[in-house]
Amino acid sequence: MFKNILSNKLLKQSVVYDYKKLSSLYCCRTSLHDGKVLSSPRSFFGVEDFVDDDNSRPYTYQKQKKPKNLHKHVSFKQRTIAYMEPFTLDVFISKRFVSASLTHRVTCKQVAVAGTNSKDIKAVLKSRSDVPACLAVGRILAERAREADVYTASYTPRERDKFEGKIRAVVQSLIDNGIDVKVYLDR
């Protein structure tokens, strides 16, 4: 018992007299009870909830989507299509306006954008959503794509879109103005 009290006093009396010379010295000031530390170690945030399911990356907030089938075969075409045909055409047509853009698949950056809501096209057109407006959007998008050195693109219509009417007018206008568009209709 006398040893315990003596060691307890020694730990609490760890005083540094010259603070300027020994400023980097760390003094341990925990109290001991039967050789055990009373305070338990805690994590940085005080909780252990920030560990991933497989305990591999502590304190990360982003969880990547895990594939359902780890051994699923991915074909060569699926792995290389983003690099072989890097630019995709996206066409959006609503009741009020038409917009189209060319996007780089790998970097996800828009290379060229044209729409009937922009000031330069809005002033010239009578209507912002008819077929002549679609042809104008295709022509301006082709000019901007050529400025960015893009001469080929691929287009896959959305599930709800049919490749006819206004969408076909935008794509045909791009083709007529020198952009080679490869259209994928098979599903």
pTM: 0.59
pLDDT digits (tens, 9 = 90+) for 116-135: 999 888 888 888 989 999 99
Greatest extent of the chain over all pairs of C-alpha atoms, in Å:
99
> Does residue 31 carry a pLDDT above 90?
no
Over range 153-166, report the average pLDDT: 88
Give 178's contacts (C-beta < 8 A, 6+ positions apart). 142, 146, 151
CA 170 – CA 139 distance, rounded (Å): 8
Residues 45-57: what's their mean pLDDT?
51
pLDDT digits (tens, 9 = 90+) for 61-85: 555 566 677 777 888 887 888 788 8
Q: How far apart, in whole angstroms, are the C-alpha atoms of residue 66 and residue 179?
A: 38
Average pLDDT over residues 136-145: 95
